Amino acid sequence: MDLDVFVSAHRAEWDRLEALLRRRRRLTGAEADELVALYQRVTTHLSLIQSAAPDPQLTGRLSQLVARARSAVTGTRRAGWRDAIRFLVAGFPAAVYRSRHWWVPAALVSTAVAALLGWWIGSHPEVQAAIGAPSELRDLTRPGGEYETYYSSHPAASFAAQVWTNNAQAAAMCLVLGVFLGLPVLWVLFENMLNLGVGAGLMSSAGRLDTFLGLVLPHGLLELTAVFVAAGTGLRLGWTVIDPGPRSRRTALAEEGRAALGMAIGLALVLFVSGAIEGFVTPSGLPTWARIGTGVVAELAFLAYVYVLGGRAVRAGETGDLAAAERSAGVPTAA
């Protein structure tokens, strides 16, 4: 390619695009269409020059021109407090509401599994013996034992932060690993239910199930709900790999994946609340009914948030995905 001839043939288009960019806020409709067309042409020119006759100075000028034109054509959007409010009152609750047919069954089945494990361990001494030596089990379950002191063994603030971090990581694992057909999600769920079942079974065998529930329920209701939501969303993402429905698999995974990543942020906020309850309310001197009542109120508030705000948002067309203006455009569109 003769670079001088190419430049002479297209310099006027480049200069025209630069002139339109200088006054892009005052363009007429026809000029906006012209800007889009010139952007597409200059992008092609840049590609040809880079592949056939790379010239550093010309490539630099056209790269800068294309970048400015892309910003004008696709539009730049700055996230702010309005985006945060939209996410909290519509995007996140809508995403949770839409996935309820996955996380509600996951919650019911998982709770049943934990209850069965707790009954099996609590009613079979040979199983308890396989878990630990009698002296170790006594240290765990006795009044003032390790199950009780666990919640007050560290300063409340640092303990709440540690719990929040661990639970947020577990929820994120469920969301991210769901793409592997959901199988790792099932394992994460089983591990959580096994730990819960072991604790319930051992404390039940010592006649202290009421103490165990008084320690777990204040924070556990909201915490486990967040884990179930993450697991259900991960399972839904895994099923999308198998059956994307009427959408192409690529489109379906992109939409569900973006919604899942948004849910990771929302669930981190939910788990922050449960971590605060676990750090400050669970080990407090409040009566058991008050501690459990705090957990019940937090759980009911979250469910109302999902079913009222989320249901309303879904009926209004919200999916939990990014707004159309925030997604990558397949082709240039006028801002």
Give the residue from 159, 139, 161 showing the smallest Cα distance to 283: 159
Over residues 68-117, the pLDDT tens digits come to 888 887 765 555 677 788 888 988 999 899 899 999 999 999 999 999 99
pLDDT higher at 80 or 263: 263
Answer for the pair 37, 69: CB distance below 8 angstroms, yes or no: no
pLDDT at 238: 83
- In the predicted structure, residue 330 carries a pLDDT above the cut 60: no
How many Å apart are CA 8 and CA 314, to the nearest integer? 55
- Tokens at residue 267, please? 């669930």
pLDDT at 30: 86
pLDDT at 294: 95
Over residues 170-186, the pLDDT tens digits come to 777 777 777 777 788 88
Which band of pLDDT confidence, cut at 50, 70 and 90, is reported for residue 306? very high
- In the predicted structure, residue 135 carries a pLDDT above the cut 80: yes
- Tokens at residue 288, please? 């058991």
Question: Measured at the alpha carbon of residue 214, what is the angle toward residues 144 and 207, in degrees to the nearest 5?
Answer: 60
pLDDT at 46: 85
Helix, strand, coil share (%) of the chain residues, nearest 5: 80, 0, 20
- In the predicted structure, residue 324 carries a pLDDT above the cut 70: no
Name the pTM for this structure: 0.69
> Which residue is associated with the tokens 């203006």?
325
pLDDT at 333: 39
- Domain spans, the chain: 3-74, 81-325
